[in-house]
Amino acid sequence: MRIPAKHIHEQLVAVLRAWGMSDAYAETTAEMMVETDLRGVDSHGISMLPTYDREFRAGRLNMRPQFKIVREGPAFALIDADASLGHPVSVYGMNLAVDKCRASGVAVVSVFNSHHFGAAGCYSRIAAERGVIGMVTASTRGVSMVPTFGAEPVMGTNPLAFAAPARRNPPFQLDMATTTVAAGKVKVHKLNHRPLPPGWVVDAGGQPVTDAEEAFRYVFDRPEGGITPLGGAREVGGHKGYGLAVMVHILGGALSGASFSPIRNRTQQPSDPHNIGHFFLAIDPRAFRAEGEFENDLDQVIDVLHGAKRADPAQPVLVAGDPEMATRAERLRAGVPVPDDLMEQLRAVAKSASVPFVLVP
């Protein structure tokens, strides 16, 4: 079923406010979640609401947070998110990094004691729209990636996003998991009853798992097997994805003092807040180049890439961000697809929150 974005936004705001979130934070969170769905990242948008509902009812989400800057300098800040959902603090953190880089050229803002924040690319995009380069990483709560030569999951799907402003072209926008696929994509395949491509998920023996139900269990329930690092097997570069995942955690988790989930699972109670960490880097091109020179160069790079000879005449060469922007335009026209199984879960969340159910075409 296709649901208009405005209805999704309305549903999200109603539920979040019923949970006690302030009007401003509910609007920000809904905006980021809808933007995630519009960009085609179905695993991280409204499909996360049932998970947030469980976290809220388990007492692991603070819906009335008071963000606190615990360390700060001209070009950096460290923020305690007060065990809140990650969207509002991430919008605040990225904008703070941009504000600081305007004066210092480069700035970093780290966040700890946070929660899931949706699609990392929504926050690097904030920087690009304000005319600077943005990079975002985050630690994760889930442990689902099997490291190279491993038989059990140790790392998360640790995301990395990067955006840079051009002048004539839309910003370059890279948004990726450091696993072959995000864990939520396995959930989406399960919701849609679609088999997985070989290579996404492996069992304890390293063999591909394509059945969506079985793959879901390996990713979310079983202690062995899980998602492959970006690249898959070592022979095709999986060790590089594994290395990137560790780098992302160092920046997003270790730098801010956020938890590392495999250790957390042994040392903290299940009821404790997740303590996820985020990393926001902002670079002002004008600190390095004359006004407009960086954007003009990036335009030329993008033009050359778009103009590259095509393997298939019907398939243009794309750059990062093109597929998301095309999906966004299409979904603004036609609505966001919501699987039947997810629709029933969302109906239950709305009922539990005692708010009207407005997800209708």
Claim to verify: residue 246 and residue 135 sit in the same structural domain: yes
DSSP code of 292? Answer: T
Q: What is the pLDDT of residue 56?
A: 95
Total count of domains within the chain: 3
Instruction: Give, to the nearest 10 degrees, the angle between helix 23-38 and helix 121-129.
Output: 100
**What beta strand segments (E) does the chain contain?**
2-3, 68-73, 76-80, 106-114, 133-138, 159-164, 172-177, 201-202, 208-209, 226-227, 276-283, 336-337
Q: 185 or 85: whose pLDDT is higher?
A: 85
> Which is nearest to 127 in space by CA: 166, 160, 98, 103?
98
**pTM score of the predicted model:** 0.93
Task: Note the pLDDT tens digit of each residue in 53-81.
Answer: 999 999 999 999 999 999 999 999 999 99
> Which is nearest to 198 in space by CA: 211, 183, 208, 187?
208
Q: State the Cα torsion 247-178-185-29 to the nearest 10°.
A: 40
Structural domain of 25: 1-64+325-361
Q: What is the pLDDT of residue 266?
A: 75
- Distance separating alpha carbons of residues 236 and 206, to the nearest angstrom: 14
Q: What is the pLDDT of residue 151?
A: 87
- Distance separating alpha carbons of residues 175 and 157, to the nearest angstrom: 12
Whether 19 has a pLDDT exceeding 80, the answer reads: yes
Claim to verify: residue 121 and residue 223 sit in the same structural domain: no
Mean pLDDT of the chain, nearest integer = 95
Claim to verify: residue 171 and residue 297 sit in the same structural domain: yes
Close Cβ partners of 8 (under 8 Å, ≥ 6 residues apart): 30, 33, 34, 37, 45, 46, 336, 359
- Distance separating alpha carbons of residues 8 and 38, to the nearest angstrom: 11
Whether 265 has a pLDDT exceeding 80, the answer reads: no
Whether 264 has a pLDDT exceeding 80, the answer reads: no
Task: Note the pLDDT tens digit of each residue in 143-152.
Answer: 899 999 988 9
Whether 229 has a pLDDT exceeding 80, the answer reads: yes
Claim to verify: residue 287 and residue 169 sit in the same structural domain: yes
Tokens of 179: 């696993």
Claim to verify: residue 208 and residue 123 sit in the same structural domain: no
Evaluate whether residue 16 is within a structural domain. Answer: yes
Claim to verify: residue 144 and residue 246 sit in the same structural domain: yes
Confidence of residue 180 (pLDDT cuts 50, 70, 90): very high
Claim to verify: residue 78 and residue 96 sit in the same structural domain: yes
